[in-house]
Amino acid sequence: MAETLLTALFLPLIAGLMLPRRGARWVALLVALAVLALTAVLVGRYAEGTAGFAASRLDWLGPATGLDVRFDVALDGLSLWLFALTALLMVVAVLVGWETIQDRAALYYRLLMLLETGMLGVFVARDVILFYVFFEFTLIPLFFLIGIWGGPERRRAATKFFLFTFAGSVLTFLGLLAIVLWNYDQPGAGSAVRRLTFSIPELTVALRARPMGLGLQVAVFSALFAGFAIKVPLWPLHTWLPLAHVEAPTAGSVLLAGVLLKVGTYGFARFNVAMLPQATAALMPWLLWLALAGVVYGALVALAQSDIKRLVAYSSVSHLGFCMLGLFAVNRLSVQGSVLQMVNHGLSTGGLFAVVGMLYERFHTREIGDLGGLARRLPRLSFVTMLLVLSSIALPGLNGFAGEFLLLLGVFQRGWGQPMPHDWLQLRTIAVLSMSGVILGAWYMLWMYQRVFFAKNETSGDTRPVRDMSLREMLCLTPIVVMVFWIGLQPRFFLDRMAPTLNELIRPAMEAVEHRAERGGAASAALKNRRDVVVPHDAVSDGRETGKGWQSRSWCNSR
Amino acid sequence: MSVESLRVILPEIALVVAAVAIYLLGAFWKSQRAWSWAAGLSLVAAAVVLWMQGPGDEVLRGASSDTWGGGPFRSDALARFGQWLALGLGGLLTLGSARLFGGGRRHPGEQDCPVGEAAGPRFDGTSEYVGSLLLTIAGLMLVTVAADLVLLFVALELISIPTYILLYLGRNDAESQESAVKYFFLSVLSSAILLYGFSFLCGMAGFAGAPGGHDMTQLVSVRAAMDSGRLGTLAVLTLVLVVAGLSFRVAAVPFHFYAPDVYQGTTHPNAALLSVVPKAAGLVALVRIVVEAMPSMAAEAWPLVLAVALLTMSVANVMALWQDNLRRLLAYSSIAQAGYLLLALAVALAGGSRVGAWNGLATLWFYLTTYSLATIGAFAVLEHLGSPERRVDSMDELAGLGRTRPAVAGALALCMLSLTGVPPLAGFWGKLLVFGAALDASASADGLVAMARQVGNLPHNLHWWFITAAVVGVLNAAVAAAYYLRVVGMLYFRTPSARLRPEGGRGAWAAALLCAAAVVAIGVDPGPLVRAASDAGRTTDGVRSTERARSTEREVGAGLSSWSSDFHRLTSGIRSYR
């Protein structure tokens, strides 16, 4: 299987470097389909295990340099579906610009192919430096895609996108190096020789065995946060996103929303939650508030948009807020729901961006006010859009419901769970308020749909016949529609493959949260009963010293 | 010193002889192509000589690092690395300037016509140009092997003096004159400062009594004098003078003011040379003197170097944001990159090196190589895009080049992205090493800090300083991305305005291609260069770290006591004066 994974990873790279000038799009499509087929094989044969599936480890810098950076790739439950999502959306992205991209088409498809390798690589990298290389590498093709083929503001959008992301990710880089160096400083477990390792699984295990002190964890968490939060984007750091989404060519928007935002959430899950559990537990309310702010703010701003593409872009802010809410609630259900929601958001929002691109090709406008009554003129496109809108607002039976339901269930469980958290009031408020995101989501989406497809358009008397979806466009959206139903009707198939990895990944963070809840709850109860008892200082401040008590305790989940 | 030991510098001798021959014969026979070829061949000859001096050479072994042999030369791994680097850069620079003086493909009907306001037939200075170029390369190589203050100074001047000629040769207008004069005066001033520092070093060596059989000018004697720990304030003054004098070559803030003006006023090949060769020489000299010969001053040296580094990168990166002239932009870029290089040096001085390649010096040499390649590549592209009559000056002239000249634009974009530090290009690994080294230094410094606390209230807290340095460094990298991306955006996102006629010649184009290819190759497989750089860093570090173990204790204690006794002397002097 390792060969399959490597082929899927490098095929687009090779194609990107030597795509022919003529017929570039056909070759690009073939490569994207081949990668999708290889991914299907990988998914089909996927076997849950601790060692990582389809793993291959190759020397890169070599041990002789002292920096034993390796080319280390493998799939696990967290990365499997994001990897598959990337392969799937790539087919959509290639098809969606099939006719509109005429100018420098070969370069366009080359960049798309390079971007595919970068995105696939982020999810399979099991070496810290390799992860960062792919993480940053995705910036270059997308920078050019936005800057060359984008809308009127494309130059500003491309630069802003690059600089925002780069500025955050350099701090993430320091955070990653800090983890590696901290691990190097620890006395080796069993072995006398200290070894500098960049391997993500090894670091995860090591940090689990000997967690950092809380202060250091929070510092490293903040450094990692800088890059990932901008990428997601979390609420106050989202300002690059609407501009980049709106100005990017359709394929760029599809991939940006569909895959690249998930790189941020993936990073949070892989590094922050898995490697810095005590900091995650300590910062949990703050992070949840931020995520909630994104949910509500994104939805409200989306409500006010008159440009469909901007509306979908702000809906991404809101939906990604949900993903972060689920992840930071560190609860089995919420995290599974969060990862499933990442995939769902990629499908529905990627599909919506593709639809917006198709509308723009026909009417050369994205203003809601200029459109109207399209359901009669474009029945097939209207149907597909309806499906995607419903998937986005989580209609039961479609994919959005499976993810969002699990996610919110987990968030509520966090607020009402046992032992009762000492900050239960906050958590419950957050859980209740997060429901408003669902309602607002349905509001702006359906309202947009109603205005664009049903309402009669009085302003422009444009009744020219337009052609409905072509075969190419239907093929383009078919994979998304299939997945929307598949995930919606059989979420177990997807959850079963991700659950074991995720449960293992968040176990320390969950324990830390429950530990805090227990200690905090006990302390406040004691305080309530006997006013003269002084709360022991270490109970709330230092997770490391008090670590022994809760590690032996069997953790329970109220599920 | 025996004549035998001259064999160490055979490659340098070969280059100097070739340069002199080219100077002399060039007076009688003018040919642009032939002299360029001659320069290239002499570089190849020097490389062959260097290659034949394998590590098995008896004389070389005598001058190797472990013994700090008797002669004025050292041939350790750092010297080897520096020599090869110098030859490589020399080759690229020669290639990049091969068509500097017109020649090659001439337009029909074009004579040696007056250029600009300069009247008279154009002066064909190819032989002088390549001769001077070879001398600067020989100077750089000599800096790396010098183990003697006098030789070191001569080698540094061997870089400076031909540079004055080069600056005059490139162009023939008022701006060029101004830049040459500016460079000349400031360079002479910095040499004077450096020489003043050297005189103190010699004096201290003489005062302390040079160890058996060594001259007081030799670095060994300086080292012995420093280790004796009886020098107090004078040693600090010397340190400041040496760092200040060499900061000019490195183009570090606040000795950077000449760079933007001089680069703007000269040609692209000259700017490439100025941004690479003096910088490399200055850094090698800093390592030889401050790291190797003054290990007992490390506690005073690293805060100084670190402050200069942070100041340099912050000032230059911010200033670069407003530049529209390409050479000014690249000048600020080269200043800013000097900041990262000095950060690596500060790490080396603070002794924070546990992981081989994160050893500050290994980082320094790796970063220097990647920086040089990308910078020469960028200047070579610009040279290729212009013509002898018309240089590419402003950024707007690059508009839309990605459409009209995709290959050229691609090479320039690769160099820019490498300077930004985006993976998977060479510059990324440089940044990885520098920032990793800074964090490593902060992590490993706890021992030193604890020791300092015991002795007294030493104000330097390594831990926080280097974490701060790393954070400031990465934020600077993000700021720098803004102006590097402006160039890339100009290349690809604008519609072509005026069509550039790339007439800079195939030499510049070949140099640009080689640099871009090297940037990608090192980015994909950095292993070999990392190994070479760590070898170069390890030898000098080895010399130093054995010393450091002994000196740290004493340095912290003795440094403090000497400071306080100086202070007492000063205050009592003031009191008696009153």
Contact B482 A163 (CB under 8 A): yes
Contact B32, B104 (CB under 8 A): yes
- B228's tokens: 């004796």
Shortest distance, CA A80 to any CA of chain B (angstroms): 24
Per-residue pLDDT tens listing for chain A (559 residues)? 788 889 999 999 998 888 888 888 888 999 999 999 999 998 888 877 666 788 888 888 877 777 888 888 888 888 999 999 999 999 999 999 888 888 888 889 999 999 999 999 999 999 999 999 999 999 999 999 999 998 888 889 999 999 999 999 999 999 998 888 888 776 655 555 567 788 888 888 888 888 888 888 888 999 999 999 999 888 888 889 989 998 999 999 999 999 999 999 999 999 999 999 989 988 888 999 999 999 999 999 999 998 999 999 999 999 999 999 999 988 889 999 999 999 999 999 999 999 999 988 888 888 888 887 788 888 888 999 999 999 999 888 898 898 999 999 999 888 887 666 677 788 888 889 988 989 999 999 999 998 888 877 665 556 677 788 888 888 889 999 999 999 999 888 888 888 888 888 888 888 888 888 777 666 555 555 544 444 444 443 333 333 333 333 333 333 3
Sign for the CA dihedral angle at B366, B369, B374, B375 comes to: positive
- The answer on pLDDT for B143 being more than 80 is yes
Around Cβ B495, how many Cβ atoms within 10 Å? 7
Cβ of B524 under 8 Å from any chain A Cβ?
no
Sign for the CA dihedral angle at B364, B481, A148, A239 comes to: positive
Residue partners of A37: CB distance under 8 A and separation at least 6: none
Amino acid residing at B497 = S
Measure the CA–CA gap between A61 and A66, rounded to whole angstroms. 9
Shortest distance, CA A227 to any CA of chain B (angstroms): 12
Cβ of A108 under 8 Å from any chain B Cβ?
no
Global pTM value? 0.88
Q: How many CB pairs under 8 A join A and B?
A: 106
As a whole number of Å, the CA-based R_g of chain B is 24
Measure the CA–CA gap between B123 and B176, rounded to whole angstroms. 15
Q: Mutate which of A67, A104, A172 to test chain B, going by most B C-beta atoms within 10 A?
A: A67
pLDDT confidence band for B548 (50 / 70 / 90) = very low
The per-residue DSSP string of A200-219 comes to HHHHHHHHHHSPPPHHHHHH
Helix axes A200-209, A128-137, angle to 10 degrees: 130
Amino acid A542: pLDDT: 39
Cβ of B432 under 8 Å from any chain A Cβ?
yes
Question: Distance between terminal CA atoms of chain A?
Answer: 35
Shortest distance, CA B553 to any CA of chain A (angstroms): 23
Contact A136 B435 (CB under 8 A): no
Q: Which of residues 58-97 of A touch B (CB under 8 A)?
A: 60-62, 64-67
Short-list B324, B311, B325, CA closest to B256: B311
Closest chain A residue by Cα to residue B406 = A107
- The answer on pLDDT for B448 being more than 80 is no
Amino acid A105: pLDDT: 85
Closest chain B residue by Cα to residue A159 = B485
Neighbouring C-alpha atoms within 13 Å toward the C-beta of A248: 34
Short-list B334, B229, B348, B225, CA closest to B284: B348
Cβ of B493 under 8 Å from any chain A Cβ?
yes
Contact A167 B478 (CB under 8 A): yes
Short-list B286, B190, B388, B317, CA closest to B182: B190
Cα→Cα distances A389→A149, A398, A478, A483, B147, Å: 27, 10, 15, 14, 75
Contact B345, B433 (CB under 8 A): no
Contact B422 A140 (CB under 8 A): yes
- Least-confidence region, from A15-24, B51-60, B78-87, B303-312: B51-60
Q: What does the buried/exposed string (b/e) look like for A450-471 if buried means 16 or more CB atoms within 10 Å of the residue's CB?
A: ebbbebebeeeeeeeeeebbee
Cβ of A10 under 8 Å from any chain B Cβ?
no
Q: Mutate which of A115, A173, A179 to test chain B, going by most B C-beta atoms within 10 A?
A: A173
Average pLDDT estimate for B416-441: 89
Sign for the CA dihedral angle at A95, A99, A100, A101 comes to: positive
Can you list the positions of beta strands (E) in B211-253? Answer: none
Around Cβ B188, how many Cβ atoms within 10 Å? 14
What's chain B's average pLDDT? 79
Contact A159 B526 (CB under 8 A): no
- A245's tokens: 């989404």
Contact A181 B492 (CB under 8 A): no
Contact A174 B526 (CB under 8 A): no
Contact A105, A24 (CB under 8 A): yes
Contact B357 A67 (CB under 8 A): yes
What is the residue whose two structure tokens read 């090894």?
A202
Measure the CA–CA gap between B540 and B385, rounded to whole angstroms. 42
Amino acid A524: pLDDT: 58
- A166's tokens: 């780069």
Using CB atoms, pick whichever of B417, B424, B477 lies closest to residue A133. B424
Closest chain B residue by Cα to residue A165 = B478
pLDDT confidence band for B74 (50 / 70 / 90) = confident
- The answer on pLDDT for B16 being more than 80 is yes
Around Cβ A316, how many Cβ atoms within 10 Å? 27
Contact B205, B221 (CB under 8 A): yes
Using CB atoms, pick whichever of B358, B402, B527 lies closest to residue A62. B527
- Least-confidence region, from A139-153, A226-240, B153-167, B384-398: B384-398
- In this prediction the ipTM stands at 0.86
Amino acid residing at B55 = P
What is the distance, to the nearest Å, from the Cα of residue A32 to the centroid of all Cα atoms in its chain? 21
Closest chain B residue by Cα to residue A196 = B355
- The answer on pLDDT for B214 being more than 60 is yes
pLDDT confidence band for B111 (50 / 70 / 90) = very low
Measure the CA–CA gap between A258 and A350, rounded to whole angstroms. 5
Measure the CA–CA gap between A12 and A208, rounded to whole angstroms. 36
Contact A69, B531 (CB under 8 A): no
Contact B75, B115 (CB under 8 A): no
Amino acid A418: pLDDT: 66
Around Cβ A85, how many Cβ atoms within 10 Å? 24
Closest chain B residue by Cα to residue A178 = B439
Shortest distance, CA B448 to any CA of chain A (angstroms): 16
Share above pLDDT 90 across residues of chain B, in percent, rounded to a whole number? 35
Short-list A99, A118, A105, CA closest to A20: A105
Using CB atoms, pick whichever of A133, A182, A185 lies closest to residue B423. A133
Contact A322, A441 (CB under 8 A): no
As a whole number of Å, the CA-based R_g of chain A is 24
Cβ of A178 under 8 Å from any chain B Cβ?
yes
Amino acid B370: pLDDT: 95
Shortest distance, CA B122 to any CA of chain A (angstroms): 43
Short-list A399, A394, A396, A397, CA closest to A435: A394
User: Which uninterrupted H or E stretch holds B47?
Assistant: helix B32-52
DSSP A51: S
